[in-house]
Structure 1
Amino acid sequence: MEENGATRSSMEETTVLESQQLHNTSSRLNKYSLACAILASTNSILLGYDIGVMSGAVLYIKDNLKISSIEEEILVGSLNVCSLIGSFASGKTSDWIGRRYTIVLSAITFLIGALLMGLAPSFPILMAGRVIAGIGVGYSLMIAPVYSAEVSPARTRGFLTSLPEVFINVGILLGYIFNYAFSSLPPHINWRLMLGLAALPAVAIALGVMRMPESPRWLVMKGRIGEAKRVLIKTSESEEEAKQRLDEITKAVSDWDGKGVWKEILRPSKPLRRILIAAVGINFFMQASGNDAVVYYTPEVFKSAGIRSRKGLVGVTVIMGIAKTSFVLVSAIFLDHYGRRPLLLLGTSGMAFSLAGLGLGSTFLEHSHKKPLWAISLCVLAVCADVSFFSIGLGPITWVYSSEIFPLRLRAQGAALAVSVNRLVSGVVSMTFLTISKKITFGGMFFVLSGIMVTATIFFYFFLVETKGKSLEEIGSLFEDNEDQNKHKVREMRETSET
């Protein structure tokens, strides 16, 4: 009896050790899928760089081209509005020519826009370059997370799909740094260098992306099963895992009943309606938070707070960029451990408090002639906290969530629709931020944004499900109610028995 007990105990210990080894193996990050996600995500540097560099460049464009505040808002916000064209077209384009070539198209479009902006002799030419760059940005915002999600194993998808947001923040920081570096040059030269410099990484990105493989899910949709299998073997820990992923993808494609994609989206079933509400909602609140506007107009906000030096204004934005980039890395690292919902709820509630603090500091400074140091410091800290909480929650998780919750057949167009809402709201906020702030003051504007973040926190608590650790093919069932799930199980049992 004792011998049997010892044997059983030894077997249990062996089983525990084997399960721990399996867990350690499965938690490893696949280097090939990491390289693919990094290459796809580098395109996002271009958007980030434009956001960061324009916040400083517009100070010198106003002096050099003598543009009004309304023209400044149109210049800043037009990139976001025009990116609607790219994001809306990206779904059809990526289903037609593939995810990889869509990323190349995005980089080339941005390259043309950056060259036009850098060489612009007048405001209309500058606007033309901005419009073209915006179309490229729209393509990039949809396709980079979708490609990263489709090439990633389920256990590390959160980290890999959040990389586009990491690179956006790296781009913003680079934009701030080049603003500071070129700020001492003459006003008719510095802003041209700031904007035109984005052409160089666009060329490098287009060439680099050509070396990465196509999305295995797109390949299966096109019937190229052999190519898809080769990519899945490289992005999986074993051939068994690759085969399992291929079987799931093939089943998801074969389940499509042939209905038109847009017809299905515009007349959705109950589960798809829940997916659309979640995807559109998270993209709406990402931009309704005012984060893009806060980044674009930080110099204006701090100027009203009492910081007068141009170099000082640009220097403060560098500090903000460092905080923003640091915290998006923290989110990316822990996203697959803690899940989407906890970090998202932490981020939006933190933004609500930060924006309320910024509103208090701004309101005090607007009614004070002395501009005390403590109030200025409060505003600087509140802005840094706001962008940091954004980088923990809404920033990376919006792209992750939008790219993973749609079924394969609807993923490109569904994500494109969600990103189009994102771009529309971003454009509206960016193009009205200064005008509304002049009517209700910066302090009043920040209190409004704080209220929006409270609403966002409530929305996410009730409407977003957790997707951590689920394969892309499993996520759809999370949005089904009990009746739908029962039907799904019955269908699976019937298929199994027939097999």
Structure 2
Amino acid sequence: MAMPGRTSMLWPAPLSAPLSAPSSPSLWDTYNNARDGARDACTADTGVMSGAMLFIEDLKTNDTQVQVLAGILNVCALVGSLTAGCVSDWIGRRLTISLAACIFLAGSALMGLAPNFGTLLAGRCVAGVGVGYALMIAPVYAAEISSTRIRGSVTSLPEICISFGILIGYVANYLLAKLPLVYGWRAMLGLGALPSAVLAVGVLAMPESPRGLVLQGRVEKALAVLRQVCDTAGEADARLAEIKVAAGLADDDATPHERSSVGKGVWREMFLDPTPPVRRILVAAFGIHFFQHLTGIEAVVLYSPRIFKAAGIATRSEILAATIGVGVTKTVLILTAILLVDHVGRRPLYLSSLAGIVVSLTCLGVGLTAVERSAPHHSPTWAVVLSISTVFTFIASFSVGVGPITWAYSSQVYPLRLRAQGASVGVAINRVMNAGVAMTFVSLYKAVTIGGAFFLFAGLAVLAATFFYFLCPETQGRPLEEMEEVFSRGWRARLVGSPSATVELPVRNISADKALP
């Protein structure tokens, strides 16, 4: 019986070259370091767990336990995501990435050695805390260390890493499926410890975020990092001045008293006394996380084996091979989105993505309903083909917009003084929705049929499109320090053309870009 999935194989990239080596440090090194920071968010053992659950037969799990295993990681991710903001302001973005990797390493090892369901569940809980840390800090680090011109692409990299991790998980499932059952699923789950160990050490070779350093009062260190990633000392000084203003610090270096007050009152400003622009930012950033998983992505990725089985694919090897196709599709289309996001803009990609999702989910619901109604007789060929093909078109549609842009958009819009805590709450909302779908999908489709479940997701995707169209303005080409100004226009900001058209920020003119933070 096809069963669900898991969410966290940290898959780091090779270490960046030393900052002084490349001839164009402000672009080359910034991109590489932000990219490797984003690799921390490759918490994608969803692929591994979706296959591993096919083989956890020695533990005699039932459907309820399956749903708990699928969703508990994201419930526990709340602990990590809600504490990661304060921790990252305290110890820095870079060490927080390393901490996330260490926590996930411990969880993976516990799952791989689990002798019973309780230990396996405990490992999932520990890994979930690491996932929460990783998903919060990676986009923030990437946004803070990258230049305006490439920020959209760089902050979308966590999603490609998640997709690559899912793909690696699917491939590992296929290769390890031939092991004896008692070893196969343990190997699938335990192997996540290896890349986590590499990341925990490798991230120490990367520079700290200059914005994070300013929040800690380490202004001179922030200036040193900026001089490594900027072309001229004058540019570094200008960017530092902008960052200090955004952080609410004086023009001179922060004193210990100032350092202790950095971040004071952040939660009050966010939830009790936000300004109108901050209120709009929070609605947009939290809302985009809320709707991401209501499109049904977790149901498709985690439960793709069950969906393929319902569509008529019979053997385990065929099911696992089909899930590899899902992983390949997701990865390739997210790469496409990363190439387009800084040229096309966030809104066109996101809204086009949702249009494809609505059509795909509707067709998937039609196909699965026809297959289900034909049982126990032979399913109509058209329904089988429609069901299988629309799984892939759904994954493609999600991956070209809703997947990467959720992280790119939400990591950029917060004011600096609220960014770490805002990102923490956003990730917490994301994980709650993820867990909600993962822990209820089996019960949902048993109550309303599997086709009916996807009709429901299609309707929710329409709501997501309405929300994004009216409440999320374009941020393409805007420096991080200008986001409050973008949202100060009110909800009608969406009617303004691409900000890059109103700000002197030519995409192809790198020298002009240097004048901006």
Global fold match (TM > 0.5): yes
Residue equivalent to 1:145: 139
**Are 1:467 and 2:475 counterparts?**
yes
**8 Å CA contact 2:160, 2:334 repeated in 1:** yes
Residue equivalent to 1:57: 52
**8 Å CA contact 1:87, 1:141 repeated in 2:** yes
Residue equivalent to 2:165: 171
Aligned residues: 455
Residue equivalent to 2:118: 124
| Distance of 1:352 and 1:247 partners within structure 2 | 45
Residue equivalent to 2:308: 302
Question: By how many angstroms is 1:29 displaced?
Answer: 7.8
User: Greater share of helix residues, 1 or 2?
Assistant: 1
Residue equivalent to 1:182: 176
Residue equivalent to 1:247: 241
CA deviations on 1:326-366 (whole Å, 9 max, x unpaired) are: 00000011111111111111111111111111101101100
Q: Trace 1:421-436 onto structure 2 (pairs within 5 A).
A: 421-436=429-444
| Distance of 1:435 and 1:138 partners within structure 2 | 26
Q: Secondary structure at the match of 1:433?
A: helix
Question: By how many angstroms is 1:470 displaced?
Answer: 0.8
Q: Trace 1:390-469 onto structure 2 (pairs within 5 A).
A: 390-469=398-477
Residue equivalent to 1:385: 393
Segment drifting more, 425-434 vs 263-272: 263-272
Change (3 A) 1:454 1:29: farther
Residue equivalent to 1:24: none
Which of these residues, 354, 361, 365, is aligned with residue 348 of structure 1? 354
**8 Å CA contact 1:113, 1:129 repeated in 2:** yes
| Distance of 1:38 and 1:188 partners within structure 2 | 37
| Distance of 2:88 and 2:325 partners within structure 1 | 37
Question: By how many angstroms is 1:28 displaced?
Answer: 11
Q: Trace 1:249-268 onto structure 2 (pairs within 5 A).
A: 249-254=243-248, 260-267=265-272, 268=274
CA deviations on 1:192-248 (whole Å, 9 max, x unpaired) are: 000000000000001110100110001112222222122222223443432322121
Which of these residues, 35, 40, 44, is aligned with residue 38 of structure 1? 35
| Distance of 1:232 and 1:468 partners within structure 2 | 22
* Matched letter for residue 340 of structure 1: R
| Distance of 2:168 and 2:453 partners within structure 1 | 28
CA deviations on 1:295-339 (whole Å, 9 max, x unpaired) are: 000001111111110011111000011000000000011111111
Change (3 A) 1:346 1:420: same
**8 Å CA contact 2:25, 2:230 repeated in 1:** no
| Distance of 2:310 and 2:478 partners within structure 1 | 48
**8 Å CA contact 1:44, 1:164 repeated in 2:** yes
Give the greater-gyration-radius structure (CA): 1
Question: By how many angstroms is 1:449 displaced?
Answer: 0.3
| Distance of 2:26 and 2:321 partners within structure 1 | 37
Which of these residues, 66, 71, 76, is aligned with residue 65 of structure 2? 71
**Are 1:372 and 2:383 counterparts?**
no
Structure 1's consecutive aligned runs of 4 or more residues displaced over 4 angstroms after TM superposition are: 255-259
**Are 1:476 and 2:476 counterparts?**
no
Which of these residues, 197, 202, 209, is aligned with residue 215 of structure 1? 209
Q: TM-score scaled by structure 1?
A: 0.89
Residue equivalent to 1:359: 365
| Distance of 1:98 and 1:205 partners within structure 2 | 16
Q: Secondary structure at the match of 1:367?
A: helix
Which of these residues, 90, 96, 111, is aligned with residue 96 of structure 1? 90
| Distance of 1:328 and 1:416 partners within structure 2 | 24
Q: Secondary structure at the match of 2:449?
A: helix
RMSD of aligned C-alpha atoms? Answer: 1.8
Which of these residues, 123, 148, 163, is aligned with residue 154 of structure 1? 148
**8 Å CA contact 2:94, 2:207 repeated in 1:** yes
* Matched letter for residue 292 of structure 1: E
Question: By how many angstroms is 1:35 displaced?
Answer: 1.5
**Are 1:326 and 2:332 counterparts?**
yes
| Distance of 1:94 and 1:222 partners within structure 2 | 10
**8 Å CA contact 1:29, 1:156 repeated in 2:** no
**8 Å CA contact 1:43, 1:140 repeated in 2:** yes
Residue equivalent to 1:19: none
Segment drifting more, 300-309 vs 173-182: 300-309
Q: TM-score scaled by structure 2?
A: 0.86
Question: By how many angstroms is 1:162 displaced?
Answer: 0.7
* Matched letter for residue 477 of structure 1: E
* Matched letter for residue 404 of structure 2: P
| Distance of 1:135 and 1:70 partners within structure 2 | 22
| Distance of 2:335 and 2:225 partners within structure 1 | 27
**8 Å CA contact 1:39, 1:208 repeated in 2:** no
**Are 1:272 and 2:267 counterparts?**
no
Identity of aligned residues (%): 48
Question: By how many angstroms is 1:44 displaced?
Answer: 2.2
